[in-house]
Amino acid sequence: MHLSLALLLSALLFGVGVYGVLARRNAIALLMAVELMLNAANLDLVAFDAWFKDALHAGQVFALFVVVVAAAEVGVGLAIVLAVFRLRQTVAVDELRQLADVDPVLRVDADA
């Protein structure tokens, strides 16, 4: 039963991705962890597609769309990270604390 092997690998990849999202503070590394999660889902989709022998190939088509979604997310994400670095000189997500619930009024600077 080879389906379970693919599913196991996919679950492991997904776990690594989730760990990366929770543990990494660098925005780029975080993006890479998200990519792992997406590719875990892709592996699942393609494995199920092959297993069902789906005449419509819904799983394969879905995986193609997920690849494109991932590329689009990375494109927009890197652009945002670049903008953050230009204006804030950091890409560590836990150092971005101008917007927070700590003290909303005192932290509001004159941005207009």
Partner 1 sequence: MHGYFGGYALVGLLGLVGVGFVAVGLGANRLLRPWRVTPEKLLTYESGVDPVGEDWSQSHVRYYVYAFLYVVFAVDAVFLFPWATVFALAGFGAISLGEMFVFLGFLAVGLVYAWKKGVLTWV
Partner 2 sequence: MSLTQSIDYAAISPPLVVVVTAVAVLLADLFVSAEVRRRLLAPLALAGTLGALGATAWLATGPARSTFCLAGGGCSYVADGFATYFQTIVLAALVVVLLLSYPLFDERERVPPGQVPAAEFLALMLMSVSGMLVVAAGRDLLTLLIGLEVVSLPAFVLVGLRRGDPRGVEAALKFFVFSVVSTALTIYGIALVYGTTGSIELHHIAHALSTRHAHSGAMSATAAAGVVLVLVGFGFKIAAVPFHFWAPDTYQGAPVPVAAFLSVASKAAGFAGLIVLLVVGFRPYADVWGPAVGVLAAVSMTVGNLVALRQRNVVRLLAWSTVAHAGYLLMPLAVASSQLREGVRATLAYLGIYAAMNLGAFGCAVLVRRLHPRLAIEDLRGLVTRAPLTAVAFGLFLTALAGLPPGVAGLFAKVVVFRAAVHGHVTWLAVVAAVNTVIGLAYYLRVAALMFVPADDAPVAPSSRTWSVSAGVAIAAAVTVVLSVYPQPLLHLASTAAQR
CB of 1 to partner 1, least distance (A): 10
Residue 81 binding result from partner 1, partner 2, none, given CB thresholds of 5 to 8 Å by partner type: partner 2
> Is 80 among the residues that bind partner 1 (CB under 8 A)?
no
Give the distance from CA 93 to its chain's centroid: 14
Residue pair 45/60 in contact (Cβ under 8 Å)? The answer is: yes
> Is the Cα torsion angle 19, 22, 24, 26 positive or negative in sign?
positive
> Is 15 among the residues that bind partner 1 (CB under 8 A)?
no
**Contact residues for partner 1, defined by CB under 8 A:** 2, 60-61, 64, 67-68, 71-72, 74-75, 78-79, 82
